[in-house]
C-alpha cells in the first residue's frame, strides 16, 4: 500500500486497488461455482454392505470413516461450494476406491494395510477432522484399538476379495 509522503496515510488509490482486488476474488469464487466437478452427491446402492461387529466399533467407523469408506456419505452443505466441493469429492472418490464397506464383494485392501493406515494416524486425514462438523473424527489410541479390533473380526468373519486399496 502506497503511503503519502506528507501525511503518513494510505493514498486514496490504494483503497481502489483493494476494492478491485476484492471484487476480482469474489467474481472468481462465483465463476468457479460453474465447474460441475464436486457436486455428484450420489450414494449408490451397496453391492454388499457389511458392518463392524459391535455398536462401539460401528460408531467409531460412522464418525471417522463412513463418509469416505462407504456409500453412506453425509453430504453437508459446504460440499456444494467450490473449491471445497472439489477436495471433498476427491477425498470421497479416493476413499471409496481404497476401502468400501458398501462394496465388500469387490476387491478390498489387505487387512495389514487397513491396520497400518489406522495405526499410522493417516486415517482419517487432517482435512476431515479439522472441520467443525467432524471434530469428533480424530481417533484416540483407544478408538484406534477398537477400530482395528473391528476390522480384524470383520476380515476373519467375512473376508473380502483382496486386491483393492488403489
Count of domains for the chain: 2
Predicted local distance difference test score (pLDDT) of residue 4: 56
Same domain, 66 and 144: yes
- Distance CA(56)–CA(150), nearest Å, equals 9
Same domain, 93 and 146: yes
How far is Cα of residue 145 from the mean position of the Cα atoms in its chain? 22
Give a yes or no: residue 47 inside a domain.
no
Predicted local distance difference test score (pLDDT) of residue 128: 77
CB-count burial class (<10 Å; 0-12, 13-18, 19+) for 62:
middle
pTM of the full predicted structure? 0.78
Same domain, 69 and 24: no
Cβ atoms of 162 and 104 within 8 Å: the answer is: no
State which H helix or E strand residue 24 sits in. helix 12-32
Give a yes or no: residue 123 inside a domain.
yes
Same domain, 68 and 111: yes
Same domain, 76 and 148: yes
Give a yes or no: residue 44 inside a domain.
no
Which residue range forms the structural domain that includes residue 8? 1-32
Written as tens digits, the pLDDT of the chain (166 aa) is 555 566 666 566 788 888 888 888 888 787 777 777 777 788 999 999 999 999 999 999 999 999 999 999 998 888 888 888 888 898 899 999 999 999 999 999 999 999 999 999 888 887 777 776 776 788 899 999 999 999 999 999 999 998 866 5
Amino acid at each position: 500500500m502506497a503511503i503519502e509522503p506528507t501525511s503518513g496515510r494510505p493514498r486514496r488509490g490504494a483503497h481502489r486497488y483493494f476494492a478491485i482486488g476484492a471484487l476480482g476474488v469474489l467474481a472468481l469464487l462465483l465463476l468457479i461455482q460453474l465447474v460441475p466437478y464436486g457436486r455428484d452427491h450420489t450414494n449408490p446402492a451397496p453391492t454388499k454392505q457389511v458392518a463392524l461387529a459391535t455398536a462401539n466399533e460401528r460408531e467409531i467407523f460412522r464418525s471417522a470413516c463412513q463418509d469416505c469408506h462407504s456409500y453412506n456419505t453425509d453430504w453437508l452443505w459446504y460440499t456444494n461450494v467450490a473449491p471445497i466441493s472439489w477436495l471433498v469429492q476427491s477425498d470421497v472418490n479416493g476413499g471409496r476406491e481404497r476401502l468400501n464397506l458398501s462394496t465388500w464383494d469387490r476387491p478390498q485392501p489387505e487387512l495389514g494395510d487397513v491396520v497400518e493406515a489406522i495405526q499410522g494416524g493417516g486415517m482419517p486425514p487432517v482435512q476431515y477432522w479439522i472441520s467443525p462438523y467432524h471434530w469428533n473424527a480424530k481417533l484416540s489410541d483407544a478408538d484406534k484399538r477398537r477400530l482395528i479390533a473391528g476390522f480384524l473380526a470383520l476380515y476373519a468373519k467375512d473376508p473380502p476379495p483382496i486386491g483393492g486399496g488403489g
